[in-house]
Structure 1
Amino acid sequence: MSKALCRTVVVRNSQGLHARPADLLVRMANQFQSTILIGRGGEQVDCKSILSLLTLGAADGTELSVSAEGDDAERAIDSIEQFFLRGFEEPSKSDSETSA
Protein backbone atom coordinates (compact mmCIF):
# COMPACT_ATOMS: atom_id res chain seq x y z
CA MET A 1 0.00 0.00 0.00
CA SER A 2 1.22 3.46 -0.82
CA LYS A 3 0.40 6.75 0.79
CA ALA A 4 -0.24 9.94 -1.13
CA LEU A 5 2.66 12.33 -1.61
CA CYS A 6 1.91 16.05 -1.78
CA ARG A 7 3.92 18.97 -3.03
CA THR A 8 3.34 22.63 -3.81
CA VAL A 9 4.42 23.93 -7.21
CA VAL A 10 4.31 27.44 -8.64
CA VAL A 11 3.38 28.36 -12.22
CA ARG A 12 6.52 30.03 -13.64
CA ASN A 13 5.30 31.01 -17.08
CA SER A 14 4.10 34.43 -18.21
CA GLN A 15 1.15 32.83 -20.03
CA GLY A 16 0.19 30.62 -17.10
CA LEU A 17 -0.92 27.01 -17.45
CA HIS A 18 -2.29 27.34 -20.99
CA ALA A 19 -3.10 24.67 -23.58
CA ARG A 20 0.43 23.70 -24.69
CA PRO A 21 1.90 23.07 -21.21
CA ALA A 22 -1.37 21.48 -20.08
CA ASP A 23 -1.05 19.00 -22.97
CA LEU A 24 2.58 18.26 -22.03
CA LEU A 25 1.59 17.84 -18.39
CA VAL A 26 -1.17 15.36 -19.30
CA ARG A 27 1.26 13.39 -21.48
CA MET A 28 3.76 13.31 -18.62
CA ALA A 29 1.14 12.27 -16.05
CA ASN A 30 -0.08 9.47 -18.30
CA GLN A 31 3.38 7.88 -18.22
CA PHE A 32 2.74 6.98 -14.58
CA GLN A 33 0.38 4.44 -13.05
CA SER A 34 -0.24 6.61 -10.00
CA THR A 35 -3.35 8.70 -9.47
CA ILE A 36 -2.21 12.31 -9.78
CA LEU A 37 -4.32 15.26 -8.67
CA ILE A 38 -3.52 18.95 -8.99
CA GLY A 39 -5.41 21.94 -7.75
CA ARG A 40 -5.74 25.05 -5.67
CA GLY A 41 -8.06 26.43 -3.05
CA GLY A 42 -9.48 23.03 -2.19
CA GLU A 43 -10.38 22.21 -5.81
CA GLN A 44 -8.48 19.13 -7.02
CA VAL A 45 -8.62 17.91 -10.63
CA ASP A 46 -7.25 14.89 -12.50
CA CYS A 47 -3.77 15.71 -13.82
CA LYS A 48 -4.42 13.29 -16.70
CA SER A 49 -7.26 15.43 -18.12
CA ILE A 50 -6.40 18.50 -20.19
CA LEU A 51 -9.87 20.00 -19.80
CA SER A 52 -9.68 19.62 -16.03
CA LEU A 53 -6.27 21.32 -15.96
CA LEU A 54 -7.49 24.25 -18.02
CA THR A 55 -10.42 24.83 -15.63
CA LEU A 56 -7.90 25.74 -12.91
CA GLY A 57 -7.16 29.03 -14.68
CA ALA A 58 -3.64 28.97 -13.22
CA ALA A 59 -1.88 32.23 -14.10
CA ASP A 60 1.81 33.05 -13.64
CA GLY A 61 2.68 32.88 -9.93
CA THR A 62 -0.25 30.63 -8.99
CA GLU A 63 0.55 28.07 -6.30
CA LEU A 64 -0.87 24.62 -6.99
CA SER A 65 -0.85 21.51 -4.86
CA VAL A 66 0.10 18.25 -6.54
CA SER A 67 -0.64 14.87 -5.00
CA ALA A 68 0.26 11.45 -6.31
CA GLU A 69 -0.67 8.05 -4.97
CA GLY A 70 0.56 4.74 -6.32
CA ASP A 71 3.65 2.61 -6.85
CA ASP A 72 5.44 5.26 -8.92
CA ALA A 73 4.08 8.31 -7.03
CA GLU A 74 7.50 9.62 -6.04
CA ARG A 75 8.82 9.55 -9.61
CA ALA A 76 5.59 11.11 -10.88
CA ILE A 77 5.57 13.99 -8.41
CA ASP A 78 9.30 14.63 -8.94
CA SER A 79 8.81 14.82 -12.73
CA ILE A 80 5.87 17.18 -12.43
CA GLU A 81 7.71 19.42 -9.96
CA GLN A 82 10.68 19.66 -12.34
CA PHE A 83 8.34 20.50 -15.24
CA PHE A 84 6.97 23.44 -13.22
CA LEU A 85 10.46 24.54 -12.15
CA ARG A 86 11.53 24.64 -15.82
CA GLY A 87 8.66 26.98 -16.69
CA PHE A 88 6.88 24.27 -18.74
CA GLU A 89 9.85 24.07 -21.10
CA GLU A 90 8.48 26.92 -23.15
CA PRO A 91 11.01 27.94 -25.81
CA SER A 92 12.98 31.11 -25.22
CA LYS A 93 14.70 33.18 -27.90
CA SER A 94 18.02 31.33 -27.44
CA ASP A 95 16.48 27.84 -27.53
CA SER A 96 16.13 27.86 -31.32
CA GLU A 97 19.94 27.58 -31.62
CA THR A 98 20.20 24.69 -29.15
CA SER A 99 20.53 21.19 -30.60
CA ALA A 100 20.01 17.83 -28.96
Structure 2
Amino acid sequence: ELFQLKRRFIQTHVNAQGSLDIVVEGPMVQAMFFEVFVLAIVNELYFRRLESSAVLEEGEHRLQAKAALLKNYASQQKSNETPFLVSDFGTRRRYSYAWQLHVVETLRDAAPD
Protein backbone atom coordinates (compact mmCIF):
# COMPACT_ATOMS: atom_id res chain seq x y z
CA GLU A 1 0.00 0.00 0.00
CA LEU A 2 2.87 2.45 0.67
CA PHE A 3 3.98 2.37 -2.96
CA GLN A 4 0.56 3.15 -4.38
CA LEU A 5 0.20 6.82 -5.29
CA LYS A 6 -2.73 8.51 -3.58
CA ARG A 7 -4.68 11.12 -5.56
CA ARG A 8 -5.43 13.11 -2.40
CA PHE A 9 -1.77 14.18 -2.16
CA ILE A 10 -1.68 16.01 -5.51
CA GLN A 11 -3.56 19.12 -6.60
CA THR A 12 -3.52 20.74 -10.02
CA HIS A 13 -5.01 23.93 -11.38
CA VAL A 14 -4.45 26.59 -14.01
CA ASN A 15 -3.36 29.87 -12.42
CA ALA A 16 -4.37 33.43 -13.41
CA GLN A 17 -1.49 33.62 -15.92
CA GLY A 18 -2.71 30.46 -17.65
CA SER A 19 0.13 28.27 -16.37
CA LEU A 20 -0.35 24.85 -14.86
CA ASP A 21 0.32 24.63 -11.12
CA ILE A 22 0.97 21.23 -9.61
CA VAL A 23 1.29 20.90 -5.83
CA VAL A 24 2.13 17.69 -4.01
CA GLU A 25 1.77 17.60 -0.24
CA GLY A 26 1.95 14.49 1.86
CA PRO A 27 4.37 11.93 3.22
CA MET A 28 7.81 12.13 1.62
CA VAL A 29 7.53 8.64 0.15
CA GLN A 30 4.40 9.76 -1.72
CA ALA A 31 5.78 13.15 -2.79
CA MET A 32 9.00 11.67 -4.18
CA PHE A 33 7.19 9.19 -6.39
CA PHE A 34 4.78 11.82 -7.67
CA GLU A 35 7.75 13.96 -8.71
CA VAL A 36 9.17 11.27 -10.97
CA PHE A 37 5.93 10.44 -12.75
CA VAL A 38 4.42 13.93 -12.92
CA LEU A 39 7.59 15.51 -14.33
CA ALA A 40 7.91 12.75 -16.92
CA ILE A 41 4.31 13.32 -18.07
CA VAL A 42 4.57 17.11 -18.09
CA ASN A 43 7.87 17.06 -20.03
CA GLU A 44 6.52 14.58 -22.57
CA LEU A 45 3.47 16.76 -23.25
CA TYR A 46 5.49 19.98 -23.32
CA PHE A 47 8.07 18.69 -25.78
CA ARG A 48 5.44 17.18 -28.08
CA ARG A 49 4.35 20.74 -28.80
CA LEU A 50 7.90 21.75 -29.67
CA GLU A 51 8.96 18.63 -31.53
CA SER A 52 10.96 19.36 -34.63
CA SER A 53 13.47 17.54 -36.75
CA ALA A 54 16.13 20.14 -35.86
CA VAL A 55 15.80 19.35 -32.15
CA LEU A 56 16.09 15.62 -32.76
CA GLU A 57 19.01 16.08 -35.16
CA GLU A 58 20.91 18.12 -32.56
CA GLY A 59 20.08 15.55 -29.89
CA GLU A 60 21.35 12.75 -32.12
CA HIS A 61 24.54 14.69 -32.86
CA ARG A 62 25.21 15.17 -29.13
CA LEU A 63 24.33 11.57 -28.35
CA GLN A 64 26.73 10.21 -30.97
CA ALA A 65 29.51 12.44 -29.58
CA LYS A 66 28.89 11.01 -26.08
CA ALA A 67 28.79 7.46 -27.47
CA ALA A 68 32.14 8.06 -29.20
CA LEU A 69 33.66 9.22 -25.89
CA LEU A 70 32.31 6.12 -24.20
CA LYS A 71 33.70 3.82 -26.91
CA ASN A 72 37.08 5.55 -26.61
CA TYR A 73 37.02 5.00 -22.85
CA ALA A 74 36.14 1.35 -23.38
CA SER A 75 39.06 0.83 -25.75
CA GLN A 76 41.49 2.24 -23.18
CA GLN A 77 40.14 0.35 -20.17
CA LYS A 78 42.48 -2.26 -18.70
CA SER A 79 41.12 -5.67 -17.75
CA ASN A 80 42.03 -5.27 -14.07
CA GLU A 81 40.29 -1.90 -13.66
CA THR A 82 37.02 -1.43 -11.85
CA PRO A 83 34.20 -2.20 -14.28
CA PHE A 84 32.35 0.66 -15.90
CA LEU A 85 28.97 1.16 -14.21
CA VAL A 86 26.19 3.58 -15.07
CA SER A 87 22.72 4.37 -13.77
CA ASP A 88 20.01 6.14 -15.73
CA PHE A 89 18.21 8.88 -13.82
CA GLY A 90 16.69 10.55 -16.87
CA THR A 91 13.01 9.84 -16.35
CA ARG A 92 12.05 13.17 -14.74
CA ARG A 93 13.76 15.42 -17.29
CA ARG A 94 13.55 13.39 -20.47
CA TYR A 95 12.50 14.76 -23.84
CA SER A 96 10.25 11.76 -24.37
CA TYR A 97 9.98 8.10 -23.47
CA ALA A 98 11.07 7.09 -26.98
CA TRP A 99 14.10 9.40 -26.87
CA GLN A 100 15.18 8.14 -23.44
CA LEU A 101 14.95 4.55 -24.66
CA HIS A 102 17.06 5.46 -27.71
CA VAL A 103 19.68 7.17 -25.51
CA VAL A 104 19.89 4.24 -23.09
CA GLU A 105 20.20 1.69 -25.91
CA THR A 106 22.82 3.77 -27.75
CA LEU A 107 24.96 4.23 -24.65
CA ARG A 108 24.50 0.58 -23.68
CA ASP A 109 25.82 -0.48 -27.07
CA ALA A 110 28.79 1.91 -26.77
CA ALA A 111 29.69 0.92 -23.20
CA PRO A 112 32.42 -1.56 -22.36
CA ASP A 113 31.32 -5.13 -21.67
TM > 0.5 between the two? no
Larger helix percent: 2
Larger strand percent: 1
Structure of higher RCO (CA pairs closer than 8 Å, 6+ residues apart): 1
Q: TM-score, normalised by structure 2?
A: 0.28
- Find the structure with the greater CA-based Rg: 2
Q: TM-score, normalised by structure 1?
A: 0.30
